[in-house]
Chains A and B, each alone.
Chain A
Amino acid sequence: MDVLGLTAERAMGMLRARECSAEELAQAYLDRIAAHDGEIHAYLHVDPERTLAAARAQDASGADGLSGVPIAYKDLLSTKDVPTTAGSRILDGFVPIEDADVVARGNAAGLVSLGKTNLDEFAMGSSTEHSAYGVTRNPWDRTRVPGGSSGGSAAVVAGGLAPWALGTDTGGSIRQPAAFCGLVGLMPTYGTVPRFGVIAFACSLEQVGPMALTVRDAALLQQVIAGRSPRDATSVDLREPIALPEAGRLDGLRLGVPRAELESGVDAGVLARFEESLAIARGLGAETVDVELPHARHGLAAYYVIAPAEASANLSRFDGVRYGLRVDAPDVRAMYEATRDAGFGPEVKRRIMIGTYALSAGYHDAYYVQAQRVRTLIRRDFDAAFAGVDAIVLPTAPTPAFEIGARLDDPLSMYANDIFTLPVNLAGIPALSIPNGLVDGLPSGLQVIGPAFAENLLLRIGAAVEAELGFDPVPPGLRGGA
C-alpha cells in the first residue's frame, strides 16, 4: 500500500470502507519510516510493536470516526510510558507518567501514534538544528532545514512518514516549518487547546496545533484536540465547533495586507508568490486592503524578552533531582550547575541567560515589563486592524527553507525568520499557514491571521485559496518510492 501523499481524511475513508485495516495502514507507514527516516531523521522515537498493538486494538474496537488513523507527535508532548525528551539531553531517558491532554484526546479518538518527532531543544529554534539528537532534513531538499521548532512533525508529514502530526507554536513553530515543508499548519487561538503535558517553553505564548497535507485535515485534527480542560486553567471552550471547510468563494470578505511589514527583508520569490495568492483571493471575490500594524516591528524585541523570561523559570525544574540527567557532584549547588551545564544546549542556555537577565533585579522593569507593554500595543494594533478587515494576510516566513548551518552562528538572523509569525503569539490570536507555491523549487507559505476564535473563517479562506492553487504537497524527489 502506497501512503505517500495520503491525507488523513482519505485514510479515514479507506478504514471505514474496510479497504484496509488500521494495522495494515500503520505497517505501511512503519515500512516507509524504516526505509526513509534514516536520511530525514524526523523521528526521535518509534516503537513498531507498540504502534501495531495500538492499531490492532482499533481494528478490534470496531470504533468509527478517526479510529485507526495514524499520527505523529512532537516530542514536546508527554506520552505515558513512552520516552519524551523535548529534544534535550537533560531529559534523556525520561518516561512520562501521564499523557498530555492532547495526546489523551488523540487516543480517545482512536488515533494510532507512529512515534515522537524531532524538534529544536525545548522548542527553542526555527530550524530543528538545535535538537540534542541531530538535525532533521527537509524532504524537499535534504541540504536544507525543515524549519522549526516543529521541524520533525513537518518533515514526517511532507516525507510521507505520517499522514499528519501535532506540533506546538510559541513564535511560529507550527506555521514556519509548515511553510518550509509545503504543509498546512494551524496556530489556534490561545487557550482553545489545553497545554497540560506539553513541556513548557513560554506558557503565555504557546499552543498545540495540527500540521497536515490539507486544510480539511487540519480542521479534522483541530476538532480532536480543541476545547477546555480542567487541567489547564488558561484553557477555554471554542465559541463554535470547528467546521470542515469546503472550497468556495470569498465574496464580501476583506483581507488586510500590512504593506509596511513587507518593505524590507522579504525574499523576492516569496513576495511574488504572496502577491499571486492575493490575486487569487480577489478572484474569489475577496477585497484586499492595506492595514497598519504600527508596533509589529517591535514584536521581535518584545518576544525575545517575554519568551526567554518565562522559559528561564520553566526550565529551572531540570535540576537533576526528580528525573532526567544528573551529573554527580559533592554538594547540591555543584550538582545543579554541572547537570544544567551538561544537559542544556547552547541555544537553550542563551535563552535562559537572556530571560534570567531580563527578570533580574534592576532590569526587570526596563526589559520584562516594557516588553509586556509592547505586547499590549501589538494586541491593540490587531484589534484596530480587525475593526476594518475580516482577516490579515502575510507571508508565513520571509524566506523559503535555508541551508543547514547557514544561520546557526547568528542567533539574531535565526530569530528574524519569525518576524511575521511571533506578533500573532504575542496577541494570542489564531493563524493558518497554507502552501503558497514554490520558490526555486522550495515551498513558501501564506499566513492568514484572524481575530480570537476565528478558526472557522481562517479554514474557509485557506480551503478556498488551497483549491485554486492546486498545490501538490508531495516533494518531487519522493515520487516513485524514492
Chain B
Amino acid sequence: MSAAWQRDGYEAVIGLEIHVQLDTASKMFCGCPNRYGDEPNTNVCMVCLAHPGAMPVANAEAVRQSTRVGLALGCRIPESSEFSRKQYFYPDSPKAYQISQYDQPMCGEGSFRVPGEGGFEIRITRAHLEEDAAKMIHAGGDAGRISGSAGSVVDFNRVGTPLLEIVTEPDIRSPEQARRFLTLLRATVIAIGASECDMEKGSLRADANVSIRPIGADEYGTKTELKNMNSFRFLERGIEAELERQLAIVAAGDRVQQETLHFDPATGTLSPLRSKEEAHDYRYFPEPDLLPVTQDAAQLQTVAAALPELPVARFERLVAAGLPEATALLLATEPELARYYDDLAERTGDAKIAANWVMGELQAHLKDRGIEADASPVTPERLAGLIALVVDGTINQTAAKEVFAALVEDDAITAQAVVEERDLAQVGGADALGEIVDAILAAHPDEVEAFRGGREQVIGFLVGQCMKQSGGRADAKALQALLRERLAG
C-alpha cells in the first residue's frame, strides 16, 4: 500500500514540521479572543501590538492541550519546560521576537504509529508551544491609498494564537506516507479536542523537509524546506514534485541547494522563497517575563486519564471486531462517523452489519446531503430499528433500502411504521408463496420442461417472475426452496 518512494537507486527522506493552532478561548499570552475571521485589528491589545511595557502571561489551557497532544504522540513530557525568545525582524512579528521554546519544550521525543497494511512508525523529535504571527495583507488588500507603492497592511488579530509545533524525525519515506501520517495526526488532535485542524483556515499547517539519498545510505542528502502545502493533496503532490526535481538535479550531476520552496498548487510547481536575512541567527534566550512550566507525574497521569479513545486505538478495536481495515481506518479518522457507528453497533449488537449500513446507505445519504453523521435525520436509534426488521426477516434487502429512504424523507416516522404503511413485510409463508409459485409454473410450461430437461439455470428466471409477482416482497431463500420442491415433484 504505502511503499517507500524509490527511483533510480535513490530513496526519499522526509520530515514534517506541523503547526497546530490550539483551540483556546483566549490567546497564548493575553486575554484577547482566539477567533478566526473577525474584522482586522479588533482582537488586539497592548500585548498583541507589543506596546512598550506589555507583558505576556501564559495560557493554562494551551499548556494542558499541548500536554494532551504530546501524550497522544507518545512524547516524553519533561517535568519542567520553559519559554524562550526567538528573534527576527518582520512586520508580522510585533516584538521582533516570537515567544517560543528552545532547549526545554513542552513535549520531548516520542513516536507515532500509523497502523494497518503498509503501516509504519514515525519518531517525533519534539513538540513545543509558541505564538502565531500576524497576517500581512499584501497590496491590493491595501485599501484607501491612491499612490500605488505596493506595500502591505498588517492585521494583528492572529498574532498570539497558541501554536503547537510538532517536529518529526526524517523517518517518512514517501509522499503517501507523509499524507497518511498527517491524516492520522490530524484525526488524533481533533479527537483530543485541541484544534479543529482546518487546513483552509490555517489551523493546521505543514512544512516538509525533503531530501533524497542513495538507497541504504546512512547520511542524509541536502534538504529543502517546502511551505504552503495547505491541503493533504498538495502536501503529497508538493513532496512528489520536489523529489522528482531533486532526482533530476542529481541525475544531471548537479548538487541540490539548501533552500526554502513555495508550492504553487495551481501549477504544481515549486518556487524559491526569499529567505529572511540572518534567519540563521535567532539569538534565542530564556523569556525573562515568563516562569518555567512544571508538571509532575501525578498531574500528567490525571491529564492522560482524561484522554478520549484515540484514532489508532479505535482502528485496532474495529479491526479486532472484524471490520475490514479500510472501514476501520475511515471510522478511525472520522470522529463524527465513528461516534455514529459506535452507537449503532451497540444498539444492533452486530459490528459488521452496523459497519455495512454506515459504509453503505448512510454514507451515500450523508454525501448526498453534504452533512455530518450527527446531523442526519436517520439517527442510530431509527436505523437500528430498521436493521432489526431485516435481521428478524420481517423485510428483505430491497424493502430495507426503501424503508431507509423513507426514514430520510420523514424524520418522525419509524421503520416499523413504514413497513406497515407500505405493506413491505416479506411474503415467506409456504401457502402464500405456494399460490404465487403455482401460478408462475402454470404460466411457463416451457421453462418448467426445460428445467426438468436439465437446464438448471432456468430457475433464475422463474425466481425472478415469482419475485415480481410478489412485488419484491418474497423471501428469496424460501422462494428458491419451494420452487425446487415443486419442480422436483
Asked if chains A and B are in direct contact (CB within 8 A), the reply is yes
Contact segment of A90-98, A257-265, A434-442: A90-98
Contact segment of A53-61, A228-236, A295-303: A228-236
Choose one: B50, B87, B285; the contact of A322 (CB below 8 Å): B50
Cβ-defined contact, B53 with A234, below 8 A = no
Contacts between the two chains (Cβ within 8 Å), count: 105
Kindly state whether residue B154 has any CB partner on chain A within 8 Å: yes
Which residues from A are CB-within-8-Å of B281? Answer: 360-361
Cβ-defined contact, B283 with A317, below 8 A = no
Kindly state whether residue A199 has any CB partner on chain B within 8 Å: yes
Residue-wise interface mask of B (261-300) relative to A, using a CB-CB cutoff of 8 A (1 in contact, 0 not): 0000000000000000100110111001111000000000
Rounded to whole angstroms, the CA-CA distance of A202 and B291 in the bound complex is 16
Interface residue ranges of B85-136 to A (CB < 8 Å): 85, 87, 89-91, 94-97
Cβ-defined contact, B55 with A316, below 8 A = no
State how many angstroms separate the Cβ of B32 from the closest Cβ of chain A.
13
State how many angstroms separate the Cβ of B229 from the closest Cβ of chain A.
26
Cβ-defined contact, B283 with A313, below 8 A = yes
Which residues from B are CB-within-8-Å of A316? Answer: 87, 89, 95-97
Choose one: B52, B89, B277, B289; the contact of A203 (CB below 8 Å): B289
Residue-wise interface mask of A (89-131) relative to B, using a CB-CB cutoff of 8 A (1 in contact, 0 not): 0010010111010000000000000000000000000000000
Which residues from B are CB-within-8-Å of A198? Answer: 53
State how many angstroms separate the Cβ of B145 from the closest Cβ of chain A.
14
B52 and chain A: residue at smallest CB distance? A199
Cβ-defined contact, A200 with B52, below 8 A = yes
Kindly state whether residue A359 has any CB partner on chain B within 8 Å: yes
Which of A98, A231, A312 gathers most chain B CB within 10 Å?
Answer: A231
Q: How large is the interface on B (under 10, 10 to 19, 20 to 34, 35 or more residues)?
A: 20 to 34
Which residues from B are CB-within-8-Å of A78? Answer: 51-53
Which residues from B are CB-within-8-Å of A98? Answer: 46, 51
Given A319-B89, A361-B280, check contact A310 B51 (CB 8 Å).
Answer: no
Rounded to whole angstroms, the CA-CA distance of A198 and B154 in the bound complex is 26
Kindly state whether residue B320 has any CB partner on chain A within 8 Å: no
Kindly state whether residue A333 has any CB partner on chain B within 8 Å: yes
Cβ-defined contact, B55 with A231, below 8 A = yes
Residue-wise interface mask of A (361-372) relative to B, using a CB-CB cutoff of 8 A (1 in contact, 0 not): 100100010000
State how many angstroms separate the Cβ of A270 from the closest Cβ of chain B.
33
Which of B52, B57, B87, B277 gathers most chain A CB within 10 Å?
Answer: B52
Kindly state whether residue A309 has any CB partner on chain B within 8 Å: yes
A84 and chain B: residue at smallest CB distance? B52
Cβ-defined contact, B288 with A233, below 8 A = no
Which residues from A are CB-within-8-Å of B85? Answer: 313
Rounded to whole angstroms, the CA-CA distance of A321 and B136 in the bound complex is 12
Kindly state whether residue B202 has any CB partner on chain A within 8 Å: no
Rounded to whole angstroms, the CA-CA distance of A336 and B88 in the bound complex is 12
Rounded to whole angstroms, the CA-CA distance of A138 and B41 in the bound complex is 45
Cβ-defined contact, B283 with A360, below 8 A = yes
Cβ-defined contact, A310 with B288, below 8 A = yes
Rounded to whole angstroms, the CA-CA distance of A230 and B281 in the bound complex is 33
Cβ-defined contact, B55 with A309, below 8 A = no
Rounded to whole angstroms, the CA-CA distance of A26 and B290 in the bound complex is 39
The SS class assigned to the A binding surface is loop
State how many angstroms separate the Cβ of B293 from the closest Cβ of chain A.
11
Kindly state whether residue A444 has any CB partner on chain B within 8 Å: no
Rounded to whole angstroms, the CA-CA distance of A229 and B95 in the bound complex is 22
Kindly state whether residue A447 has any CB partner on chain B within 8 Å: no
Interface residue ranges of A193-216 to B (CB < 8 Å): 195-200, 202-204
Kindly state whether residue A156 has any CB partner on chain B within 8 Å: no
Given A98-B46, A321-B154, A332-B91, check contact A233 B52 (CB 8 Å).
Answer: no
Cβ-defined contact, B288 with A204, below 8 A = yes
Given A233-B289, A234-B291, A336-B89, check contact A196 B53 (CB 8 Å).
Answer: yes
Cβ-defined contact, B49 with A322, below 8 A = yes
Kindly state whether residue B58 has any CB partner on chain A within 8 Å: yes
Kindly state whether residue A386 has any CB partner on chain B within 8 Å: no
Which residues from A are CB-within-8-Å of B96? Answer: 313, 316-317, 319
Cβ-defined contact, A96 with B51, below 8 A = yes
Extra contacts, 6 of them, besides A96-B51, A232-B55 (Cβ < 8 A), are: A78-B52, A96-B52, A316-B97, A319-B89, A321-B91, A332-B90
Q: Nearest 3 CB-CB pairs, A to B?
A: A316-B96, A204-B288, A203-B288
24 A–B contacts, CB within 8 A, in A order: A78-B52, A86-B52, A94-B52, A96-B53, A195-B53, A196-B53, A203-B289, A204-B288, A230-B57, A231-B55, A233-B57, A233-B289, A233-B291, A234-B289, A313-B283, A316-B87, A316-B96, A317-B95, A322-B50, A336-B89, A359-B283, A360-B283, A361-B281, A361-B283
The residues of A with any CB-CB pair to B shorter than 8 Å are 77-78, 84, 86, 91, 94, 96-98, 100, 195-200, 202-204, 230-234, 309-310, 312-313, 316-319, 321-323, 332-333, 336, 356, 359-361, 364, 368
